[in-house]
Amino acid sequence: MGMVEKKKIIIDTDPGVDDAMAIFVALRSPEVEVIGLTTIFGNVYTTLATRNALHLLEFAERTDIPVAEGSHVTINKTTKLRIADFVHGADGLGNQNFPSPKGRQIDQSAPAFLVEQANLNPGKVTLVALGPLTNIALAIQLDPEFSKKIGQIVVLGGAFLVNGNVNPAAEANIFGDPEAADMVFTSGADVLAVGLNVTHQVLLTDADRDTLAQSGRKFGQYMSKILGFYYSYHHDSYGVQGVYLHDPTTLLAAVNPSLLTYTEGVVRVQTTGIMRGLTMFHNSNRRFEELTEWSNKPIVKVAVTVDAAAVVKLVMERLMNS
């Protein structure tokens, strides 16, 4: 009777306050082994995402984990980047003036690293995608077999039958590169999408932040500091007394899938017009008379419900267990 093999995960990330929290929770989760971070634009530009990823690993004393830098532009290279510094602060980490990291990224690009890791561990790597899906689309272009060789792709993205957070139609990660997102959703990979319809149910309250601040624990105290800016944004923009845990919820969906429930169908992404970035799910139980743009496309999973209290409890425990 051997030990249960840890799930190998790569986090594609644009840190980002809630990214930082997801990365720390991953590093504190015994069920998984983080084998790399890849970076992307979104909450910050890619160069700063790389710097922040290195910084977070140095803070966690996990410089053994490689960071591969991802794309600086969208898949079609033409989309103007929309950077959410108003959510996370100009430095992406709540304007804390952290020192520059000492280490640097590996020489391999993020898409090349993703392809290599999928080849080294076929079917065994879970990719947790917390930003726009450009690197993953590039990995699919680099190696048409990538979508079959990657184990699962757990995506924070989309807003399924609810409003987006960029505009009524679009969620930020999908809006960041809609063409890449449509490629990933229709690639045939085992994709699980966790959208705003789920993550907006998971609220870390003001009281939870106080608990982190007073914990005397390294990760809890760090998070309570960088969360200040993210809390202000939520108070002002959403009028909620807390913050949404988009990235940690998605990470925990990879760690413990039973925290959520799912449905299956085809997801397409609107790439033009006023609804650019909209994610539209076709429930495969419903058949249409005519062929549609959803017909004969691969099935993906979409999260429907979440045990929000359990997610918050687990996040809090793991940020305070050392």
Supply the DSSP symbol for 60: T
Contact call for residue 270 and ligand NOS (CB under 6 A): no
CB of 247 to ligand NOS, least distance (A): 5
CB 255 within 8 A of CB 29: yes
**How near is the Cβ of 133 to ligand NOS at its closest, in Å?**
13
Among 21, 40, 57, 84, binds ligand NOS (CB under 6 A): 84
Name the residue type at position 303. Answer: A
> Which residue number places its CB atom closest to ligand NOS?
172
Decide: is 83 part of the binding site for ligand NOS (CB under 6 A): no
Distance of alpha carbon 142 from alpha carbon 121, whole angstroms: 17
Instruction: Kindly state the smallest distance separating residue 167's Cβ from ligand NOS, in Å.
Output: 10
- Distance separating alpha carbons of residues 24 and 153, to the nearest angstrom: 19
Query: Smaller CB distance to ligand NOS: residue 183 or 227?
Result: 227
Of 132-140, 168-176, 184-192, 259-267: span binding ligand NOS (CB under 6 A): 168-176
Q: Which member of 8, 246, 301, 318 binds ligand NOS (CB under 6 A)?
A: 246
DSSP string, 262-317: EEEEEEEE--SGGGTT-EEEEETTS--SS--TTTTPPPEEEEEEE-HHHHHHHHHH
C-alpha span between 227 and 53 (Å, rounded): 17
Q: Which stretch binds ligand NOS (CB under 6 A): 68-76, 92-100, 142-150, 164-172?
A: 164-172
Query: Quick one: which of 57, 128, 136, 172 contacts ligand NOS (CB under 6 A)?
Result: 172
Catalytic option among 88, 234, 246, 282: 246
Tokens representing residue 127 in the block: 């990719």
Q: For helices 246-255 and 308-319, give the axis angle rounded to 10 degrees.
A: 90
Minimal distance, residue 5 CB to ligand NOS, in Å: 29
Per-residue b or e along 213-223, where b marks 16 or more CB atoms closer than 10 Å to that residue's CB: eebeeebbebb
Q: Which is nearer to ligand NOS, 112 or 255 (CB)?
A: 255
Report the residue number, 117 or 279, with the smaller CB distance to ligand NOS. Answer: 279
The answer to whether the bond into 16 is cis (omega within 30° of 0) is yes
Verify whether residue 246 is a known catalytic residue. Answer: yes
Q: Is 321 helix (H, G, I), strand (E, B) or coil?
A: coil
Per CB under 6 A, which region of 1-9, 163-171, 261-269, 314-322 contacts ligand NOS? 163-171
Beta bridge partners of 10: 36, 127
Which residue of 105, 173, 187, 197 would you call a contact of ligand NOS, by CB under 6 A? 173
> Under the criterion CB under 6 A, does residue 177 sit at the interface with ligand NOS?
no
Q: Which two tokens stand for residue 3?
A: 């030990």
Looking at beta carbons only, is 26 or 115 nearer to ligand NOS? 26
Instruction: For the CB of residue 14, give the shortest distance to ligand NOS in the complex, in Å.
Output: 7
Rounded to a whole number of angstroms, the minimum distance from the CB of residue 272 to ligand NOS is 21
43-53 b/e with 16+ CB inside 10 Å = b? bbbbebbbbbb
Active site residue 14: yes
Q: Hey, which residues are catalytic here?
A: 14, 246
Which residues contact ligand NOS (rule: CB under 6 A)?
16, 18, 43, 84, 87, 165-166, 171-173, 246-247
